[in-house]
Structure 1
Amino acid sequence: MNRGTLTPLGNDDFFKSISLGLSQDAFDIIVDGPVGIWVSQASPTRLFVNENAKRLLQLDSNDGVFTEHSPPCLSHLLKHPDKKGLQTCQGSDVFSFLISQRASTYTGLFLRCPESDLPLAQPDEQELLKLVMQLPHLAVQGYDHHGKLIYWNEASSELYGYSLDQAVGKNMEELLIPQSHQGNFPTIYKRWLANPGVAPNRNCIRMNCQGQKIQVQTTQIVLQNGSREAELYCLDYSDDGTRRQQQQLHKLEYYDQLTQLPNRQLMHSLLEQSLKVGQQLDLCTAVMFIGIDKFTLVNSEFGHEVGDHILKKVADRILTIASFQDLKSRFGGDVYALSFNVPKDNKQVSRIARRLLAALSKELHLEKGPERISASIGIALSPFDGEDASTLLQHGDAALAQAKADGGGCFVYFDPELNRSNHRVHFIANDLERALDAGELHLSFQPQFQLDSEMLCGSESLIRWQHEQLGDISPAEFIPILERQKGMLVLDFWVTKQLLKTIQEYLEQGIEPPRIFVNLSAATINHKDFRHNVSRVLEKYNVPSHAVGIELTEHTLIHNEPQAVANLHWCQEKGIKIALDDFGTGFSSLSYLAKLPIDIIKIDRLFISAIDKKHNRELVKTIIAIAHSLSMEVLCEGVQTREQEDFLREHGCEMVQGHYYTEALDSEQWLALIQSKGPNRHCV
């Protein structure tokens, strides 16, 4: 093989790798072609140059380094490769662009002079392209005037992860352009094609086959084919060390560190791609949200270390059911997501859901012994339940919430009616603070009376919400929503402040109202700052503690939290009465009641409304007897008839409230009632 003359300068290994790695034609281009080649390592010193580079750059023929007459802006060019106006000492322009075999090791200049003896005709770019296509580690892709792939080398597969078979038939946008850049890409691509020749080397962000963003150095060459149509060739490279670091950062950003599954963000991106494939092949894309039932209790009982172990085991079991090409994700907390494309029927989807539930219900072997868990699954299907990733994921999550609400251990398909309900729930939960600022919430008062004297003895404060868009929202609707969304602390604090402010205004007018009870949630009673907060607001509004009472439900106290019990004992010591609301509808036991600092038991309206039935009459009599045996008083709510009142009075019930006496009153009506009847000296 007869090879021309190439001057190696300082690195024989590199010279040999270049020389032996190229064809004779490519080698001839390096040595004898009109393109100047100059390669350095790390700084503008020397590795090798060809004769044209020496002439163009005024290099010393012996050393291949720059002389004092060399172009003064060459060093600047190496730092700023987008510059292309390089002046030689003869005053001629030399066009150049920077390229690299490995970004951290070798830097090269391809140079050409626009003088008549070194024409800048299109064959220069063709010859240059033939050369660089054979350089190892340089990822080269070619695209036609529509952006469709026409050339793909091995280095492109190594850099971007697509095999040639996977890349063929795709266009540049779907192969390599991140989703965030795709909106205006067609316009950008046309702009590239409108500028023939070699574009300056630049940094850019590309996307690999896993949807990961990677930073590459790229040089673009626009040529014309035999039909005079523009073609784009991209010459890309990325430093291996930088690439590994980027992969590590990508893993931290896009993968769950406990289960090593893709996280929510990556799942969203991958699902968008899967939806496109499903649409092209006329398939249904299924999304399953898989949640561990009552996982919070598992964490509380066994600790977070065991909880993490369970989360990993659940991930492993999902992987055994899912196929290789399915999308898997730990979506957050105890929720996983699984997605796959299937024919447009849900038979296969249902079968997979049943297999998942069966696999997840098998015994887990923990240190303390075998344990069983159950899971719930919510399913959304595209195109029926949404055609984009965000909508489909939202609907899958809504279906999971319904599966859990149905008792867990089951799967539920998304229902549009369910979505409307969930949208209202989400809207209410997130609109509380705005509503408080807008004055949409207000207090009303349900008066309470002594049965023996029929005198006013207190009231229960009730919260009402007049929403600007939804109208009246019942407490029976928004209270449970706020409890689930952890919004009760905010609401309880607002209600308590409003109540104490109202009592303060009465006291300043010389009016001493009967005790007013406020309903507080478990979150408030269990709060570590409960005593401090209560003391602070009582002091701020200068209200005596005996002027207020606290109502709790059985649900609030069912866990018998030590913090809550201690806080209630503190309230009793301060003179704040404690009433247990809705007694008989929860889980209370006699031993449980005996341990709690309860002053008043409130009989639920359900019992008194059916007092004509013997069974209910016996229940009410028993509740009254139990309360008295524990030195507690009894108040019955929901009284609506004279017959109900007579029965309660006969069997020793002390207090009543209900529409038989009055409906709930606004603050002005409540004040008028206080002034007309006054507080009874026997009030509790």
Structure 2
Amino acid sequence: MVDKTQVNILLVENVDDIAGSFLHELEIPSFQAKIFRAKNIKEAIRIVLEKPIDGIIFQYQVNDGNAIEFLEGISLISARMIPTIVMASETEEKMGMQVFRKGARDFLIKDKQGNYLKRLPMTLERVLKEEIRYRENTRLKKNSEAVLATVSDGMLGVNLDGVITFANPAAALYLNQPLESLIGKKIDAYAEHIDITFAQSLSQGMHQIQISNQLAVIGQYMLTLAHNQQSCMVEISLTPIFNELMHLEGYVLSFRDISETKYLSEEVRHMSIEDDLTGLFNRKAFIHRLEHVISYCNRYHTKCAVLFIDLDGFKTINDALGHLSGDEILLKVVDRIQTVIRETDILARVGGDEFMVMLTHVNHPNDAARVAIKINRALLPSIELNGQKYYLTASIGIALYPNDSSDARKLVQYADFAMSMVKKSGKNNYQYYKPDLNLEADRMMRLSNDLRVAIQSNQLDLYFHPQVSATTGELIGLEALVRWHHPELGLIPPKQFIPIAEEMGFIGNIGQWVLQKTCESCLLWQQIGLENFTLSVNLSVNELQREDFLDDLVKCFTVFHIHPNRFQFEITESVFAHDVGDVMHKLRQLKSMGFQIAMDDFGTGYSCLSYLKDFPIDVIKIDRSFVQSLSYHDNERHKAIIAAIIDLAKRLDMATLAEGVETEAQAEYLTSLGCESLQGFLFAKPMTFSETTEYIREKIQEGGQMYLGKKLH
């Protein structure tokens, strides 16, 4: 009897137990199947991440989505699409083409006669054999490449437990061990002979391979050969070995003598340590020098520090003026920094607008802060170029040896962490590294990964915040606000995940989701006669810059049969920091279609009155920070600013709406100045669709909008 190949099959269907399943057992002619079960997309993705799944049977519709959404999610987390067969009801047959486009291998209809149960085993047989042929070809190719790449070098075979399974004579020579003694021993036993850092580097290489399935270079080491006592520079690499199902089953550790190459590279080393523009050290040279400085500090019990500097606002200037002018400004910045550091300190350029300073001798941690303050003071005066003045500041992170780490790369990483925290807390300052910054960095990385599947996993919710007339109290609008309900971390505020989405490049996906859900809500309200108000949607610069933004917008409103005059798009003053001409063109197109445009958070960003005059703005939203200042004891200046904004809006024929109104006194004062609309917790908190629907109905029944039992007038 021929042994059957073991395979893991994931069955995803909308049932709570096996008794309700359409499939109680599965017999495939050439395979022995082990079935894993999931009842929704979330469980299915978890199993795929945890188990080596070879095939998937997916009921088209489950309680948290459908097969199309599942296939889209799988494509994000898997380098190759897992063979998937979709089972659909007769009413879902029309979705077959879309399912195939998303990567499904087959699409079976669950007919009433049950014939699909007979076809399923044969379909699985075919799909799995196709996959095994593909994997076998890939395995043979990768394994052949591994052998060919290492046959002339030292070779060690190592299994997943780190045990040596084969070795060639060259490997025994490099390790100074008899060939027969290597087999069956742990590679860790020989790690220290190679280098004290080798064990950690090998572990990191194995982890890298588990993620990428690609060759990993462990490092370069100076080894002494026992038979002739000569030293040679050896590069050690790690190559993955796969079984027939392309599951990782071990590694080839190769040793290659690069002594001659290393000698030649030393001759041109000086060509690769300098930054082309400034002549300063680059990152690699800086870290190399830092390693020597740390060794010196360790020997003589002294301290040193790393300052990571990021120029605030340089990107905006560089985009506006071009790279040549930007380079001239960078050279002026270098001159200013060098005037406030010692000759023994080292300045390096490590990115477009990023620099590092190494303070080679620090008596007290405060010394580093003093240098950071001097750097920002040196940048304070304007930089003149071609008759124009430009202003820059710096966000600076500080890491100390030995307080924070004795590893050069980690000191640089920690200083970078600290700098990023300065960026997030307002820029133009400095901050020391603290261990909890690592936790924050890990948390941000986790959020960025989880956010990728938040839309497909139905983790996003839409809330609505009422906007009322300042004089009558009537509901005039609702602002759509996105909320993220993380399955483990709970409610994540937008101020945390929106910047991540912008940085990772999928803010457009979230923006499209918000627009579609808002249109769906608008249509539902229209159908029950609730429509005497506008809906406001926040619009990011990233979305405006998409070439297909307007086309997608028109399609969305056409599908839902909604007139543009029901909608208002809110932009922030950050649009002034980008290609103003392109942004203005698209806003005018939106205006011509019938949409309203509101300037959100007015007065807190890149305020520019000339732009405000030219942009097609209908509403100025007064930022909550100005409104909250009305409750301060000494608030005359804040009142003057608010009055000026309202007066400016009137002269430009624009309406005003105040955000963050929380007290009757704030509402009455704003109304007395002529502010037309108000928004804030005084009237209502952001609400779900059902809560908002009930809120609208209650206000209609009351015959007017009320707050705290008093009518607005």
Q: TM-score of the superposition, structure 1-length normalised?
A: 0.56
Query: Could you list the per-position Cα deviations for residues 392-451 of structure 1 after superposition, in whole angstroms to 9, with x for gaps in the alignment?
Result: 112211333456678777654334466655665565456432433433321111123345
Equivalence for 2:533: 514
2-side partners of 1:247 and 1:401: how far apart?
A: 37
CA shift for structure 1 position 565: 2.0
Structure 2: gaps (5+ residues): 1-150, 155-168, 178-191, 206-217, 237-253, 706-713
Distance 1:244 1:452, change over 3 A: same
The correspondence of residues 49-448 of structure 1 with structure 2, limited to 5 A, is 180=201, 197=227, 204-205=234-235, 238=260, 244=264, 256-259=275-278, 263-265=282-284, 267-268=286-287, 271-272=290-291, 275-276=294-295, 278-311=297-330, 329-339=348-358, 341-342=360-361, 345-346=364-365, 375=394, 377-401=396-420, 412-416=431-435, 424=443, 428=447, 431-448=450-467
Distance 1:339 1:437, change over 3 A: farther
Q: Could you tell me whether the CA contact under 8 Å between 1:578 and 1:598 is conserved in 2? A: yes
CA–CA separation in structure 2 for the residues paired with 1:558 and 1:620 = 24
> Partner of 2:65 in structure 1?
none
Contact 1:460 1:518 in 2 (8 A): yes
Task: Report if aligned partners of 2:480, 2:536 keep a CA contact under 8 Å in 1.
Answer: yes
Aligned to 1:581: 600
CA contact (8 A) 1:271 1:327 kept: no
Q: Residue in 1 aligned with 2:687?
A: 665
Q: 1:298 to 1:615 in 2, by over 3 A?
A: closer
Q: Which residue of 2 aligns with 1:465?
A: 484
Look up the SS of the partner of 2:467 in the other structure.
strand
The answer to whether the 8 A contact 2:571-2:598 is kept is yes
Q: 1:533 aligns to what SS in structure 2?
A: helix
- Displacement after TM superposition at 1:80 (Å): 7.6
Aligned pairs for 1:519-598 within 5 A? 519-557=538-576, 561-583=580-602, 588=607, 592-598=611-617
Q: Is the 8 A contact 1:288 1:396 kept in 2?
A: yes
- Alignment deviations for residues 103-149 of structure 1 (CA, whole Å, 9 cap, x no partner): xxxxxxxxxxxxxxxxxxxxxxxxxxxxxxxxxxxxxxx9999xxxx
Distance 1:433 1:320, change over 3 A: same
Kindly indicate whether the alpha-carbon contact (under 8 Å) linking 1:342 and 1:348 is maintained by their aligned counterparts in 2: no
Higher mean C-alpha displacement, 549-558 vs 507-516: 507-516
- Describe the superposition over 1:471-514 as per-residue Cα deviations: whole angstroms up to 9, x where unpaired: 33333454456567766444333322332233345556776573
Write the distance in 2 (CA, Å) between the matches of 1:491 and 1:484.
13
The correspondence for 1:475, drawn from 478, 494, 513, is: 494
Q: 2-side partners of 1:648 and 1:409: how far apart?
A: 33
Q: Which amino acid aligns with 2:455?
A: L
Q: Compared with structure 1, are the counterparts of its residues 340 and 569 closer, same or farther at alpha carbon in structure 2 (3 Å cutoff)?
A: closer
- The CA distance in 1 between the partners of 2:498 and 2:233, in whole Å, is 54
1:342 to partner: Cα distance = 3.5
Q: Is the Cα contact below 8 Å between 1:283 and 1:341 reproduced in 2?
A: no
Structure 1 residues 141-167: Cα deviation after superposition (integer angstroms, max 9, x where no partner): x9999xxxxxxxxxxxxxxxxxxxxxx
Deviation digits for residues 651-679 of structure 1 (CA, Å, limit 9, x no counterpart): 65544333343322101112334456669
| Larger Rg, first or second structure (1 or 2) | 1
The code of the aligned residue for 1:549 comes to Q
Contact 1:610 1:616 in 2 (8 A): yes
Decide whether the 8 Å contact of 1:528 with 1:563 is kept in 2. no
Instruction: Deviation per CA, 1:336-390: give whole Å up to 9, x if none.
Output: 2344654663476567667767887899896769988665543211221123334
- Distance in 2 (alpha carbons) for counterparts of 1:647 and 1:81: 82
8 A contact 1:378–1:399 mirrored in 2 = yes
Distance 1:631 1:143, change over 3 A: closer
Change (3 A) 1:217 1:374: same
Superposition deviation, residue 631 in structure 1: 3.1
- Structure 1: stretches of 5+ with no match in the other structure: 1-78, 83-96, 99-141, 146-170, 207-214, 219-235
| DSSP 3-state at the match of 1:438 | coil
Sort the Cα spacing of 1:372 and 1:494 in 2 relative to 1 into closer, same or farther, 3 A: closer
Conservation of the 8 A alpha-carbon contact between 2:224 and 2:231: no
Change (3 A) 1:384 1:438: farther
* Equivalent in the alignment of 2:70: none
Give distance in 2, aligned partners of 1:447 and 1:288.
Answer: 47
Alignment partners' CA distance in 2, 1:421 and 1:143: 42
302-311 vs 640-649, greater mean Cα deviation: 640-649
RMSD after superposition: 5.6
1:576-619 Cα shifts (integer Å, max 9, x gaps): 11223344556757665443312223344556567687877776
Q: For 1:428 and 1:238, how far apart are their aligned partners in 2?
A: 46
- Whether the aligned pair in 2 keeps the contact of 1:600 and 1:632 (CA below 8 Å) is yes
Provide Cα deviations, 1:254-300, integer angstroms capped at 9, x if missing partner. 76444565544565566456545544543434222233443224423
Measured in 2, the distance between the counterparts of 1:365 and 1:641 equals: 47
**Cα distance in structure 1, aligned partners of 2:666 and 2:408:** 58
**Are 2:678 and 1:656 aligned?**
yes
Instruction: Give the SS at the match of 2:617.
Output: coil
**Any idea what the Cα deviations from partners look like across 1:3-42, whole Å, max 9, x if unmatched?**
xxxxxxxxxxxxxxxxxxxxxxxxxxxxxxxxxxxxxxxx
Which secondary structure does the structure 2 equivalent of 1:663 belong to? coil
Q: Is the 8 A contact 1:275 1:285 kept in 2?
A: yes
| 2:516 is the alignment partner of 1:497 | yes
Q: Distance in 1 between matches of 2:462 and 2:651?
A: 35
Indicate the larger mover: 307-316 or 565-574. 307-316
The 1:600/1:389 distance shift into structure 2, 3 A limit, reads same
Q: Measured at CA, do residues 341 and 642 of structure 1 come closer, stay the same or move farther in structure 2, by a change above 3 Å?
A: closer
Instruction: State the AA in 1 paired with 2:689.
Output: S
Q: Structure 2 vs 1, CA of residues 389 and 487 (structure 1 numbering), >3 Å: closer, same or farther?
A: farther
Q: In the aligned structure 2, how far is the partner of 1:365 from the partner of 1:621?
A: 35
Is the CA contact (8 Å cut-off) linking 2:397 and 2:419 kept in structure 1? Answer: yes
Name the SS of the counterpart of 2:616 in structure 1. Answer: coil
Q: Percent identity?
A: 29
1:600 aligns with 2:619: yes
- CA deviation map 1:212-271 (0-9, x unaligned): xxx9996xxxxxxxxxxxxxxxxx9627xx9547865x7787764445655445655664
Distance 1:322 1:623 in 2: 44
Distance 1:307 1:606 in 2: 34
CA distance in 1, matches of 2:434, 2:413: 12
